[in-house]
Each structure stands twice: as C-alpha cells, then as structure tokens.
Structure 1
C-alpha cells in the first residue's frame, strides 16, 4: 500500500502569505483531498480530473456561506496551479 500524499509538500512552492493563510490553505486542501478520496477513490491530486473539483465545489460547498466558498475556491485554484492545468472555476 502506498503512503498518502503529503499535501504540505505538494503545495510547498505555492504557499505564500501569512502563517494563518498558509495553514488555512493546507487545512482546506486536506479536506478536499479526503472528500474526493471518499467519493471518487482518488487519493492523489495527480489523478484528479476537473469533474472531481467541480463536484466538491458544487455538492460539498453548495450550502456554505459565500465567503467560505470563496476561500475554498482560492485553495482549489492553488491545487490547479500546482497540477499545471488551465481549469477555470466559478462560484
């Protein structure tokens, strides 16, 4: 069995800003990773498709406040940038 992906190491080069901001992005990225792993059985972001992130934003964040969805969208954009994709998402 393989070891789980270390999200902190995965996002290390992209995380900037204050300590609190970096920790928020890491916490949210780990939650996104866990939710996609449960629903789609995709443990690593390297195997994610755009539909996985759209599902998370629509169905897992759909009832959250607008500000919460915005902060998760920022984290999703970091993940997409790290994956080297050109996917675009909206609230």
Structure 2
C-alpha cells in the first residue's frame, strides 16, 4: 500500500512569504493535483508533462476571474520551479 502524495512536503523547499500566502499556494497546488489526477490518473507532479499543466490553466480556469487565474499561475510557477522544468506559461490577463 502506497502513501498518498504529500504536496506540502513537495513544495516546502520553494514556499516563501507569509503564512496565508503559503497556505494559498498549498491549497491551489492540491486542487491542481486533484484535477490532473482525475483527468489523467497522474497522482504526482513528477509524472506531469507540460500539456497537463497547460490544460489546467486553459480549460479548468477559463471561466474564473483574472485575479484567480493570476494566483494559480503563481502557484504553477512554484510547481515548475520545484520540478526544475524549463516550462513557461504566459498569463492570459490583458494589461
């Protein structure tokens, strides 16, 4: 029997900022993980590819307000940094 993936432990090396900011990133990372796991049965970020994260940003957040999209993008950048991947995602928000 395997243990469930611990997102808090995974992100602990890259989480900075206030307590509220760290908690928001953890909550959003768990939501991202759950959505990707439901769609592609990939339980850990180590199994993700760029297309999985891009799908979440483009399709699951499409109807969310711009500020929500922006905060999720910040969380995605933390995840990508922790994975040490060269993936770049642009913010869809218009200036």
What TM-score bracket applies, with the shorter chain setting the length?
over 0.9
**Structure 1 unaligned residues grouped into runs of 5+:** none
Q: For 2:18 and 2:86, how far apart are their aligned partners in 1?
A: 26
Q: State TM-score, norm by structure 2.
A: 0.93
Aligned residue in 1 for 2:43: 43
Aligned residues: 91
CA contact (8 A) 1:11 1:82 kept: yes
User: What pairs up with 1:58-77 in 2 under 5 angstroms?
Assistant: 58-77=58-77
- Coordinate RMSD, CA, aligned: 0.6
Runs (4 or more) in structure 1 with deviation over 6 Å come to none
**Structure 2 unaligned residues grouped into runs of 5+:** none
Aligned residue in 1 for 2:8: 8
Structure 1 position 30, deviation (Å):
0.2
Q: State TM-score, norm by structure 1.
A: 0.97
Q: For 2:25 and 2:49, how far apart are their aligned partners in 1?
A: 20
Partner secondary structure for residue 64 of structure 2: coil
